Amino acid sequence: MDPDYPVTPVPRHARKGFFSLMVVLLGFTIFTPTMLAGATLGTSFGLSDLLLIILLGSLVLGAYVAVLGWIGARTGLTTVVMARYALGTRGSKLASVLLGGTQIGWYGVVIGTIGDLTAQAFGWDSYPARAAIMVAVSALMCATACYGYRGMYWVSLVSTPLILILAFWVMFRSLDEVGGWAGLAAIHPTASMSLAAAVTTVVGTFVSAGTQAPNWTRFGRTGGQAVVACLVGFLIGNGLMIFFGAIGAITFGEGDFVLVLYQLGLVGWGLFLLFGNLWKSNADTAYAFGVAGAELFEKPSKIPFVIGGSVIGTVLALVGVHEHLPQYLGLLGTFIPPLGGVIVGDYLARWRRTQMPEGEPLPRVNPVNLAAYALACAAAWVSGQTGFGIPPVIGILVALVLSMALSRLSPRRPR
């Protein structure tokens, strides 16, 4: 039996304390590509407006993830297993394919990014050199994910504090370039962006990955611990990375601190930031598609699916598909937040007292919640096309309200 319990509730003896949860979730969100989202905000707003937007977006993101994390700790279940109770034993396969497939794609993007940036640092232009880097780092990340929660905890415990110290050093170095906080506040925006688009950018950075927060909070001893750990990770950690990216874009014209360190001639520190950061974040990604695969094929171990997904993601990076995936994967992100909304709404309406008991007879398909999910996805897509509202938030709210309002119509037994 897999010690990480991918398809069964985490037993009480395997639960972790608050500090452990906080370390893992903070390590999950201290993710350098998030800085690129901050870079788009940094050139579009003054300092006071920028801080307000980051705070508002991070509060929305943190609140959503905290509720899902709370449910994960109370039930001991992963997101894809909770989807069985909301969508049915067959309907939940949609969640496993969507969440697992998207994470494999992002895994490939990160592997390709590491290969390209490492080759850039050493001036290696040959394809074999980049390919060797991609294969080596993928094997390391895959092994960490196979080791499970404990593996990700120890990697995060060691690397996250060092990465934050380095990031704060770069930030203060950046402030020196513009004359401190006063100089930064005096810089006028060179681009424009609407408030709704800016908040969407902040929320969108981690709303899809945050939907899978129960994969880790299910190890929490209490729901309260999970809520606070999620807020530390997604409100503070993710908000800091967006702010760092904004600072880098304003002062150096580059949001990614890895490339800022390259510009400063600190290639070694840049590589440390690159590897330390993406190692732990991509191990979390591999873990996520591992538990999704275990649910999809109803197997007790995540390890074969971690390995298989890592191989697929690495192949995508080796053939260069990773350069074309981000926009497509971002589109899929429209369809992931409503899934979290359905799970939250259905839990509050039908499962809060019984905590999704193991062995509960469930219908193969719950057409009511599937319809709520489809309508919420449509609402989120229309929101994005028209520029009205914040698409991920619209999708979550519509899914939550519909699943709660229609809960009495949901089948309770197999049909």
3-state secondary structure the chain: CCCCCCCCCCCHHHCECHHHHHHHHHHHHCCCCHHHHHHHHHCCCCHHHHHHHHHHHHHHHHHHHHHHHHHHHHHCCCHHHHHHHHHCCCCHHHHHHHHHHHHHHHHHHHHHHHHHHHHHHHCCCCHHHHHHHHHHHHHHHHHHHHHCHHHHHHHHHHHHHHHHHHHHHHHHHHHHHHCHHHHHHHCCCCCCCCHHHHHHHHHHCCHHHHCCCHHHHCCECCHHHHHHHHHHHHHHHHHHHHHHHHHHHHHHCCCCHHHHHHHCCCHHHHHHHHHHHHHHHHHHHHHHHHHHHHHHCCCCCCHHHHHHHHHHHHHHHHCCHHHCHHHHHHHHHHHCHHHHHHHHHHHHHHHCCCCCCCCCCCCCCCHHHHHHHHHHHHHHHHHHHHCCCCHHHHHHHHHHHHHHHCHHHCCCCCC
Report the sign of the C-alpha dihedral through residues 103, 106, 112, 118, in that order: negative
The answer to whether 369 and 358 are in contact (CB under 8 A) is no
* Per-residue pLDDT at 127: 87
Give CA–CA dist 41/74, Å, rounded.
37
Report whether 75 contacts 82 (CB < 8 A).
Answer: yes
Cβ-Cβ contacts under 8 Å for 54 (sequence gap 6 or more): 38, 41, 202, 239, 242, 243, 246
Q: Which residue in 275, 313, 243, 308 sits closest to 102, CA to CA? A: 313
Q: Which two tokens stand for residue 334?
A: 């429209």
Count CB neighbours of 315 within 10 A: 14
**Given the structure tokens 């929660």, which residue do they identify?**
149
Q: What is the pLDDT along the chain (415 residues), one digit of tens a residue?
A: 456 888 899 999 999 999 999 999 998 888 777 787 788 888 888 888 889 999 988 998 899 999 999 999 999 999 999 999 999 999 999 999 988 888 888 888 889 888 888 888 888 888 888 899 999 999 999 999 988 888 888 988 888 888 888 888 888 888 888 888 888 888 888 778 888 778 877 887 788 788 889 999 999 999 999 999 999 998 898 889 888 888 888 888 877 778 788 888 888 888 888 888 788 888 888 999 999 998 899 888 899 999 999 999 999 989 887 676 656 656 666 788 899 999 999 999 999 988 898 888 899 999 999 999 999 999 988 988 887 878 888 999 999 999 999 998 888 767 5
d(CA 237, CA 231): 9
- What is residue 1's predicted lDDT score, i.e. its pLDDT? 45
Which residues lie closer than 8 Å to 228 by C-beta, 6 or more apart? Answer: 18, 22
- Three-state DSSP string of 145-211: HHHCHHHHHHHHHHHHHHHHHHHHHHHHHHHHHHCHHHHHHHCCCCCCCCHHHHHHHHHHCCHHHHC
Place of tokens 């995540």: 302
CA proximity to 249, closest of 172, 167, 174: 174
Spatial contact of 292 and 105, defined as CB atoms under 8 Å apart = no
Whether the CB-CB separation of 30 and 211 falls below 8 Å is answered with no
